[in-house]
Amino acid sequence: MIHNFNYHRATTVQESLSLLEKFKEDYKIICGGQSLLILMRQGLVAPENLVDIKSVKEMSYIDYDPKKGLKIGAATTHREIEKSPEIKKNYPVLVEMEENLASVQTRNWGTIGGNLAHGDPASDPAPILIAMTATVKLANTNGERSLLLEDFFVDIFETALEEGELLIEIQVPVPLKKSAVAYEKFNIIKNHQGIVSVAASITMAEDGIGCKDARIVLGAAAATPLRAGEAEQMLIGKKIDTKLLASVGKKASEECDPVSDIHATETYRRALVKALTIKIMKKAWEQAKTSGRVGGKHT
């Protein structure tokens, strides 16, 4: 049962921030509400004040500049990202991820900012955006600050948002030449939350043979989306081959910290991390060699 609360609808960023400042810690922000309302129905959260930012139009936009990269307003829906021609052309892996995120109904109403601010370690967008070195812009009544998305997640369902602070924008850099990002989640039923997911980005060296840079980001394999740093370092300066990828996959499975639950055991999740890391790193490497485009269809 949902407990009584005071409802406040904001129409501007400034009005939103003023309300957050007024209510201090006793509030929750709602935009799509796809996750928050479930928690409220279960009695896990019972805010005194609910601040609705769905009508803040200045936070709903997709802006791409070939020199500056991509900016997405936090109130932009998943469906808007999925259907964006600019994102499909320049960051197709984001479109492909969105096509497999929950249901169309959820994507029509749920927002990218709400998804990230919820802090779910099984989130679909977070691993991909971290692999792309995305940053988030946070604001309060005193000003704004930017934070790397990988530093935004603190613990399970806990983020770096401070009292009175609002996530207002996601920023993704321009894709590097001869680089690619691939993503896959393992789930039993299509579009359901992944049991484990892996995002991988890779950049080829100037000689077209070795690996210049790599990122491996694991979802649902720790309390937060996790970069497998030791596994990444094994790739730098090396020529990618089957033997190396097998070692990298094994290292990633050792670095993660999954739990056992009704969906899968810790051992099974580690095995999935190993297999998916090998598969997705190989896919990203092949894409980087052939086209240099970010993304590519995931299976």
pLDDT digits (tens, 9 = 90+) for 94-151: 999 999 998 888 898 999 999 999 999 999 999 999 999 999 999 999 999 999 999 9
What three-state secondary structure class fits 235? Answer: coil
The single-letter DSSP state of residue 70 is: E
What is the Cα Rg of the chain in Å? 19
N residues, the chain: 299
**If you average pLDDT over residues 150-156, what whole number do you get?**
97
Do strands 27-30 and 49-52 pair parallel, antiparallel, or not at all (unpaired)? parallel
Asked if residues 200 and 181 have their Cβ atoms less than 8 Å apart, the reply is yes
Does 207 or 76 have the greater pLDDT score? 76
pTM beyond 0.85: yes
Residue 236: pLDDT above 90?
Answer: yes
**If you average pLDDT over residues 33-62, what whole number do you get?**
93
Query: What was the pLDDT predicted at 291?
Result: 61
CA distance 151 to 178: 26
The single-letter DSSP state of residue 201 is: E
* Helix, strand, coil % over all residues of the chain, rounded to 5: 35, 25, 40
Q: Where are the alpha helices (DSSP H) in the chain?
A: 13-23, 36-41, 78-82, 85-90, 92-99, 104-109, 112-118, 125-131, 149-152, 229-233, 242-255, 266-290
The single-letter DSSP state of residue 228 is: -
Domains of the chain: 6-52 (3.30.43.10), 58-172 (3.30.465.10), 179-290 (3.30.390.50)
Asked if residues 196 and 220 have their Cβ atoms less than 8 Å apart, the reply is yes
